Amino acid sequence: EQAKAAGVFTPKQEDYQKVYDKIAQLLVEHDEYDDGSYGPVLVRLAWHASGTYDAETKTGGSNGATMRFPPEGDHGANAGLHAARDFLDPVQKEFPWITYSDLWTLAGVAAIQEMQGPKIPWRPGRNDRDVSYCTPDGRLPDASKEQKHLRAIFNRMGFNDQEIVALSGAHALGRCHTDRSGFSGPWTFSPTVLTNDYYKLLMEEKWAYKKWDGPKQFEDVSTKTLMMLPTDMALIKDKSFKSYVEKYAKDNDAFMHDFSNVVMKLFELGVPFQTEERMTFKTSE
Ligand code: DDH
């Protein structure tokens, strides 16, 4: 405690596990939110913090947590993510030694693992930075676009076709909100459990334009309750992307394995780590 007060506290794996456990506990306690979990929106926060990375200029990425500041927090792509940041505030208060940048990615890891996803090895080392490090608007993908845009955005971060498809499986989780992105509905029937259903549904369902006043999106013909964005549909229009969609639709273990690797890479983009060593958190129960 004294060391903490003096600001020389060096957290160990067991300390980060306590942060993980607190997030897991709050996820259970706040099951009134959305489809019953803050998990999906926590994953989206970690992704949007990380996905601003530009490999060429080495700017953006999860190091900095610059989404705390209005220019970046107000970017259209980040609409609604205050829900995730507010959810994590009590955690930051209880563990004031952790940076927001480390906390947001750790929360993404906790959310994925608690929603029955794979273990995501994680390491600390991100530092919060000031408003001058905010990234320009437009670094995150635009859902109304297609494969050319997907490659431009994700190649900029350093991801190839296989990694783009593996990352997109995160859309097994959560939903679109008309008051956030303008789009509407979930991608799968179990939006609080990570499965390869996103790929299965892409391959097996019939998708048609949704008839409505909102932005162009697709709905499943049989139940009209699920959705796909134009960027999601691009993954089965493009031959190269589609080969990986087919693979992950058939093989959940391959998806879980590749998802773990690619999310680990995403959450580490642009971070000047002092350690090579990663930790793996114990999942609750
Ligand atoms: Fe996504 N995503 N995402 N996404 N995403 C939305 C929701 C969620 C795109 C657009 C949207 C990834 C890739 C893409 C999650 C995780 C990830 C919404 C709806 C839009 C729009 C937001 C709202 O209305 O609340 C586009 C475009 C892409 C792309 O081009 C590839 C990736 C890589 C991830 C990831 O985590 C690795 C999650 C989770 C959600 C659900 C959020 C929620 O609140 O529920």
pLDDT, tens digit, 9 for 90 and up, residues 171-224: 999 999 999 999 999 999 999 999 999 999 999 999 999 999 999 999 999 999
| Cα(192) to centroid(ligand 1), Å | 14
Closest CA to 48 of 105, 122, 126, 113: 105
User: Is the shortest distance between the CB of 141 and ligand 1 below 6 Å?
Assistant: yes
Q: Given ligand 1 and candidates 171, 228, 236, 261, which is best to mutate, with the most ligand atoms within 8 Å of its CB?
A: 171
User: Is the shortest distance between the CB of 181 and ligand 1 below 6 Å?
Assistant: yes
| Cα(92) to centroid(ligand 1), Å | 24
Atom of ligand 1 nearest to the CA of 175: 45
| Cα(116) to centroid(ligand 1), Å | 18
Classified as helix, coil or strand, 54 is strand
Token pair recorded at residue 66: 């610059």
| Cα gap 84→42, rounded to integer Å | 5
| 115 shares its domain with 9 | yes
Report the number of distinct structural domains present in the chain. Answer: 2
Closest CA to 62 of 74, 72, 76, 75: 72
283 pLDDT band, cuts 50/70/90, is very high
Q: Quick one: average pLDDT of 18-44? A: 98
Protein residue whose Cα sits closest to atom 23 of ligand 1: 176
Partners of residue 209 on adjacent β-strands: 218
Would you say 217 and 183 are in contact if contact means Cβ atoms under 8 Å apart?
A: yes
8 pLDDT band, cuts 50/70/90, is confident
Q: Give every CB contact of residue 65 below 8 A, 6+ residues apart in sequence.
A: 49, 99, 100, 101, 104, 126, 128, 129
User: How many other C-beta atoms can be found within 10 angstroms of the C-beta atom of residue 10?
Assistant: 7
| 124 shares its domain with 155 | no
Position 151, amino acid:
R
* Average confidence score pLDDT of the chain: 97
Burial readout 241-276 (b: 16 or more C-beta within 10 A, e: otherwise): bbebbebbbeeeeebbebbbebbbebbbbbbeeeee
Is residue 2's pLDDT more than 60?
A: no
Protein residue whose Cα sits closest to atom 18 of ligand 1: 176
For the chain, list the strands marked E by DSSP. Answer: 175-176, 185-186, 207-209, 218-220, 227-228
Position 98, amino acid:
I
User: Is the shortest distance between the CB of 198 and ligand 1 below 6 Å?
Assistant: no
| 113 shares its domain with 151 | no
Atom of ligand 1 nearest to the CA of 263: 37
Q: Which residues are catalytic?
A: 48, 187
User: Is the shortest distance between the CB of 105 and ligand 1 below 6 Å?
Assistant: no
| 128 shares its domain with 157 | no
Is residue 1's pLDDT more than 70?
A: no
Token pair recorded at residue 65: 């947590």
Closest CA to 118 of 264, 16, 245: 264
Token pair recorded at residue 96: 């004031």
Q: Given ligand 1 and candidates 38, 50, 82, 176, which is best to mutate, with the most ligand atoms within 8 Å of its CB?
A: 176
9 pLDDT band, cuts 50/70/90, is confident
| 128 shares its domain with 254 | no
pLDDT one-digit tens code per residue, 53-99: 999 999 999 999 999 999 999 999 999 999 999 999 999 999 999 99
| Cα(223) to centroid(ligand 1), Å | 22
| Cα(8) to centroid(ligand 1), Å | 38
What number of residues does the chain have? 285
| 55 shares its domain with 105 | yes
| 96 shares its domain with 156 | no
User: Is the shortest distance between the CB of 145 and ligand 1 below 6 Å?
Assistant: no
Q: What CATH number should be reported for the domain holding residue 177?
A: 1.10.420.10
User: Is the shortest distance between the CB of 42 and ligand 1 below 6 Å?
Assistant: no
Can you give the residue range of the structural domain that contains 244?
Answer: 147-260
Is residue 154's pLDDT more than 80?
A: yes
User: Is the shortest distance between the CB of 229 and ligand 1 below 6 Å?
Assistant: yes
| Cα(243) to centroid(ligand 1), Å | 21
Q: What CATH number should be reported for the domain holding residue 130?
A: 1.10.520.10
Is residue 4's pLDDT more than 80?
A: no
**Domain membership flag for residue 106:** yes
| Cα gap 180→44, rounded to integer Å | 13
| 184 shares its domain with 123 | no
Protein residue whose Cα sits closest to atom 12 of ligand 1: 168
| 84 shares its domain with 152 | no
Closest CA to 162 of 63, 265, 59, 77: 265
Q: Tokens 């029955």 label which residue?
A: 116
